[in-house]
Amino acid sequence: MMSDYTVETINDGLNDFNVEFHGPKESLYDGGVWKIHVELPDAYPYKSPSIGFVNKIYHPNVDELSGSVCLDVINQSWSPMFDLLNVFEVFLPQLLLYPNPSDPLNGDAASLMMKDRKQYDQKVKEYCERYAKKENITNSIAEVDSGNEDISDEESGGFSDDDVAGHADP
């Protein structure tokens, strides 16, 4: 069913896995690549899957810290007639194409979208460039979620991610 997608199982289970997801063509997210974490409940397809972005995305309906998705069709109106192809080919692309700032999980993104659409669009593109590249999704979840992404070189004292702690000065 998911043969057109790169799927990475977690702990060799069939109910917990990551899927490579590409932003919809001709959208602000075009060219972006995200790792989507999927957890299927034991009662799937009668109960909806849990869906979340692993690498960062700037969107009013996606929690920036947890990656949780606010999408009625998954969270409230799920039907056993839906499957994972619906999630990846319809629901997530629609979410990215048509954000709903009046029902936000990311209040900053929703506010910016409503107040200054041009600045919002620019921030979406910056996040895509910074966090949604193929190399970002090949990192482990621990590396992606380390929380150090927002610290600039000046704020970190000029150290790069490649610097190793514990080396003595020569």
Q: What amino acid positions are annotated as catalytic residues?
A: 70
- The Cα 3–Cα 70 span in angstroms is 26
What is the amino acid identity at position 39?
E
**What is the amino acid identity at position 17?**
F
- Pairing mode, strands 7-9 and 33-39: unpaired
Instruction: Give the single-character DSSP code of 103.
Output: S
d(CA 50, CA 116): 32
